[in-house]
Amino acid sequence: MPRLVTDSLKLSLFRSTFNLLAIAVFLLSMATTTSQAKEPEPLPLALTSAAVTPRAVVSGRISKMTLKQLGAEYPFSLRGSDGRDSVNFNVRVDEIVTQATLKMNYAYSPSMIPELSHLNVLVNDEIAASIALPKDTAGTDMERTVNIPSRLITEFNSLSIQLIGHYTNQCEDPLHSSLWAKISNNSVLELTTTPIALLNDLGMLPLPFMDRRDPRTLNLPIVFATKPDNAVVEVAGTIASWFGALAAHRGAHFTALQGTIPAKGHAVVLINSKAPGLNLNVPPITGPSIALITNPGDPNGKLLLVMGRDAKELKIAANALTLGNQTLSGPTANITGVVELIPRKPYDAPNWLPSDRAISFGELSSAKAMNVSGYNPGPIRLNMRVPPDLFGWREKGVPVNLKYRYTPQPTLANSSLTININSLFLKSFVLLPIERLGGGDTLLAKVQADDTLPMQGKFLIPLEMLQPQSQIQLRYMYDYIKQGECQDIIIDNVRGSIDPDSTLDISGFSHYKAMPDLSAFSESGFPFTRLADLSETAVVLPDAPTSQEYSSYLDVLGKMGASTGYPAVAVSVIQAVNLATAADKDLIIIATGNDQPLLKQWSDVMPATLDGIRRFSISDIVFKVRDQISPDPQERIQRARIDLLSRSTADAGLFSGFESPLKSSRSVVLIWGANPEALTDNTNALIGGEDIEQKISGSLAIVRGKKVDTLVADQTYFVGQLNLIKNIQWSMSRHLGLFILFVALSTVLLALLIYIALRAQARYRLRA
């Protein structure tokens, strides 16, 4: 044992001596270096001060979103002793929040007791801050910035404002009218985020290129390795439509680049054997493949490489990406083939209501989202896309079989379930109390295990109330039954639910629509989206397309993907010289200035002439102050009354719809800009947004910046078909002469039948 102690002491002394020698050598080297180095220049005064007085510096991207942008259509109206309202916000998976603030504009009742009343700001049901409500600022417009701890914020978040209000120290009515606070929906949530690097794994697609947590419009560059031919442009359109479908209501913009990779951020790169590198470390291409790599200029940026030795292999890779990305994993995937098992059918777009069967509410929303609680909960929202060519002339409406449950109140109250369509009132159902339901065993047999009462109601939605993008809003509104002084205590035990097996059925309607109709094109991509894969659509580009024309083409395809929810894997891209190959297709023509030969070739069938002297057809629609919502297409027609000829160098864009000169009942939409900037304005107006003043509609529309003017709505042909009886009725309603002829022929035929019957009866009697 003593020997062990001695050895350990020797080892300690050795280590101490070694450390002292090392320190001495280090100090000697530092002294030598300092003596040889040049004396540094003094720092400027500003920098010296900053060094002396440290300051917190927050770096990263700053995003600002109003409560309205987050979903609050109206200001928060908080009432009662415990009023509350909320919105949701999300954070991208490749970002982390380092700082968050809420710049809140609010007002509150002057009748509340300051010591007992306050506002709570909650994030994910945890209190981020409490705001006092002093008497001297009551009833005035207030503004306050609330710092939100970043530790409370996750990927998916709920931001709530809660009012705790009291107006007396004694017994009080918890829903007294003096207990209120208003929170403006223009209040701003500001997030400062820092990017984080992600792994190169195809299994996370569509991340990070499209993140459903991000509420902003998607902006994604698509890079062509070399000047693309039509087949490669078709591949780019397929990818753009897929990302557009993922972006959905957010909208998507695509920038076409050639031979250049963005210095920062994310991008999709199309590579074939003609240019396999683009200064990227990519192995030789041996077949269709997909890879995910880091952007050489940005460690947080990603490049999605779609590769093939030729356009055919490139298309196989693009189809694998857009149709089967869920099966991909790892940094690289080699594709052996993609086989389409079932061809697309008309009106089978995943986003559209099915036309051949009833759809259940469970297909439109989750069961969780259709369950609410509280006396005045927010509405249950069901979003849906309706085919824009449903023929509603003389139809009763869309049948709805609604199954719902609620907590019955003991006595009669003004409780109801209201149904709105696109914020327009349609119908309400009274929520009957227990005393009106008979009680006893009969009622107990109806009440579910969760104490809710199952009910059923049927109603019709007028077809003219359904827009191509529609929303059904169902809202439970319970009346609070007062018990008397010192007995009014709110017990939050009321519930409401819409059963997922409730149904809506449009299968009884024919598909028949008067055309052209640019509103159907701008809202749903119709008639091109009639087939979700765009197999009956051809896009006609100029002979030498510019990068802006490629970008506009990609934006249009992205918009159509958002409508159908399906990638355009069968779209065709051609030039004017190849029109014969697309004679039986609907056409989209993209042009800038005079670079499209069809502007001159088809000038006699277009409602506007853009070659040389410009001619625009104008109708009375420019003087209308209201939208035309009649279910009769004939009543919406606004025929051209004058032609305006001019020479103008103004930067304007144009949308024009007309029947294809190649085949009847086929449609053409022209998207034209006087210059590249005007063409950009066109696609911005098509994608839409709060800053766009009007929607594109009619058969001819002019776009100037953010302003859209409809000049004419002249519907000259129809697409779709009606059954025999409906077709006869519709034809006779439009043509009085045909109706008179039909009546006359029917009369003659009936008289002839009566004559033949009487002669036959007379001969029978003579024989007898």
Higher pLDDT among residues 229 and 44, named by residue: 229
The answer on pLDDT for 7 being more than 50 is no
Range with the lowest mean pLDDT among 77-81, 716-720, 728-732?
728-732
Q: What is the pLDDT of residue 33?
A: 36
Nearest to 588 by CA among 472, 516, 667, 473: 667
Question: pLDDT band for position 223 (50/70/90)?
Answer: very high
Residue that is written with structure tokens 């917190």 in the block: 56
pLDDT tens-digit map of 166-188: 998 888 888 888 999 999 999 99
Q: How far from the centroid of its chain's Cα atoms is residue 388's Cα?
A: 17
Residues 700 and 635 in one domain: yes
Residues 410 and 530 in one domain: no
State how far the Cα of 267 lies from the Cα of 637, in Å rounded to an integer.
44
Residues 285 and 239 in one domain: yes
Structure tokens at 482: 């007062």
Q: What is the pLDDT of residue 767?
A: 80
Question: pLDDT band for position 17 (50/70/90)?
Answer: very low
Nearest to 556 by CA among 680, 470, 659: 680
54 CB contacts (<8 Å, ≥6 apart)? none
Q: What is the pLDDT of residue 153?
A: 95
Q: Check if the beta carbon of residue 323 is closer than 8 Å to that of residue 357.
A: no
The answer on pLDDT for 201 being more than 90 is yes
Q: How far from the centroid of its chain's Cα atoms is residue 18's Cα?
A: 69
Q: Is residue 208 part of a domain?
A: no
Residues 532 and 679 in one domain: yes
Kindly report the average pLDDT of the chain as a whole number: 83
Average pLDDT over residues 485-493: 62
Average pLDDT over residues 749-764: 88
Residues of the domain holding 131: 61-195
Question: pLDDT band for position 218 (50/70/90)?
Answer: very high
Average pLDDT over residues 49-77: 69
Model's pTM, two decimal places? 0.82
Q: What is the pLDDT of residue 415?
A: 87
Q: Is residue 211 part of a domain?
A: no
- Final residue in a domain of this structure, among 285, 302, 334: 334
Average pLDDT over residues 188-196: 94
423 CB contacts (<8 Å, ≥6 apart)? 471, 473
Please provide the DSSP assignment of 114-183 as one string.
TTT-EEEEEETTEEEEEEE--GGGTTS-EEEEEEE-GGG--SEEEEEEEEE--S-SSS--TT-TT-EEEE
From edge to edge, which strands make up the β-sheet containing 252-258? 252-258, 218-224, 267-271, 302-307, 289-294, 332-334
Residues 745 and 692 in one domain: no
pLDDT tens-digit map of 440-454: 455 555 555 555 678
The answer on pLDDT for 544 being more than 60 is yes
Cα-based distances in Å from 653 to 2, 254, 682: 98, 19, 6
Q: Is residue 727 part of a domain?
A: no
The answer on pLDDT for 161 being more than 50 is yes
Kindly give the interhelix angle for 311-324 and 230-247, rounded to the nearest 10 degrees. Answer: 10
Residues 537 and 683 in one domain: yes
Residues 388 and 477 in one domain: yes
Residues 175 and 89 in one domain: yes
For residue 281, give the CATH number of its domain: 3.30.379.10
| Local structure of 768: helix, strand or coil | coil
Q: What is the pLDDT of residue 513?
A: 92
Average pLDDT over residues 403-415: 82
State how far the Cα of 557 lies from the Cα of 539, in Å rounded to an integer.
10
Q: What is the pLDDT of residue 61?
A: 85
Range with the lowest mean pLDDT among 141-155, 404-418, 601-615?
601-615
Question: pLDDT band for position 491 (50/70/90)?
Answer: low
Q: Is residue 200 part of a domain?
A: no
State how far the Cα of 653 lies from the Cα of 106, in Å rounded to an integer.
42
Residue spans of beta strands (DSSP E) within 249-395: 252-258, 267-271, 289-294, 302-307, 332-334, 358-360, 371-373, 380-385, 390-391
Question: pLDDT band for position 488 (50/70/90)?
Answer: low
Between β-strands 398-406 and 495-498, what pairing exists: parallel, antiparallel or unpaired?
antiparallel
Cα-based distances in Å from 426 to 148, 236, 370, 462, 465: 41, 44, 19, 9, 9
Q: What is the pLDDT of residue 345?
A: 94
The answer on pLDDT for 127 being more than 70 is yes
- Final residue in a domain of this structure, among 488, 508, 528: 508
Q: Check if the beta carbon of residue 258 is closer than 8 Å to that of residue 544.
A: no
Q: Check if the beta carbon of residue 163 is closer than 8 Å to that of residue 181.
A: yes
Q: What is the CA radius of gyration of the chain?
A: 34
Question: pLDDT band for position 352 (50/70/90)?
Answer: very high
Task: Name residue 572's beta-bridge partners.
Answer: 538
Please provide the DSSP assignment of 577-626 as one string.
GGGGGGTTSEEEEEEETT--THHHHTTTTSSEE-SSSEEEEEEGGGG--S
pLDDT tens-digit map of 631-664: 555 555 565 545 544 445 467 889 999 999 999 9
Structure tokens at 613: 């002297």
Kindly give the interhelix angle for 547-564 and 230-247, rounded to the nearest 10 degrees. Answer: 50
Q: Is residue 640 part of a domain?
A: yes
Q: Check if the beta carbon of residue 579 is closer than 8 Å to that of residue 662.
A: yes
- Final residue in a domain of this structure, among 11, 34, 52: 52
Average pLDDT over residues 272-283: 73
Cα-based distances in Å from 429 to 195, 414, 415, 439, 588: 50, 11, 9, 20, 47
Q: Is residue 206 part of a domain?
A: no
Residues 447 and 517 in one domain: no
Q: What are phi and psi of 15, to 5 degrees?
A: -65, -40
Split into its structural domains, the chain has a count of 6
Residues 191 and 245 in one domain: no
State how far the Cα of 691 lies from the Cα of 708, in Å rounded to an integer.
11
The shares of helix, strand and coil residues in the chain, as percent rounded to the nearest 5, are 25, 30, 40
Residues 73 and 34 in one domain: no
H/E stretch holding 496:
strand 495-498
The answer on pLDDT for 32 being more than 90 is no
Q: Is residue 427 part of a domain?
A: yes
Please provide the DSSP assignment of 349-364 as one string.
-TTBPPSSSEEEGGGT
Residues 225 and 174 in one domain: no
The 3-class SS string of 179-235 reads CEEEECCCCEEEEEEEECCCCCCHHHCCCCCCCCCCCCCEEEEEEECCCCCHHHHHH
The answer on pLDDT for 19 being more than 70 is no
Q: Which string of b and e fits 218-238 if b means at least 16 CB within 10 Å?
A: bebbbbbbeebebebbbbbbb
Q: Is residue 607 part of a domain?
A: yes
689 CB contacts (<8 Å, ≥6 apart)? 217, 251
For residue 422, give the CATH number of its domain: 2.60.120.260
For residue 168, count other CB atoms closer than 10 A to its CB.
Answer: 13
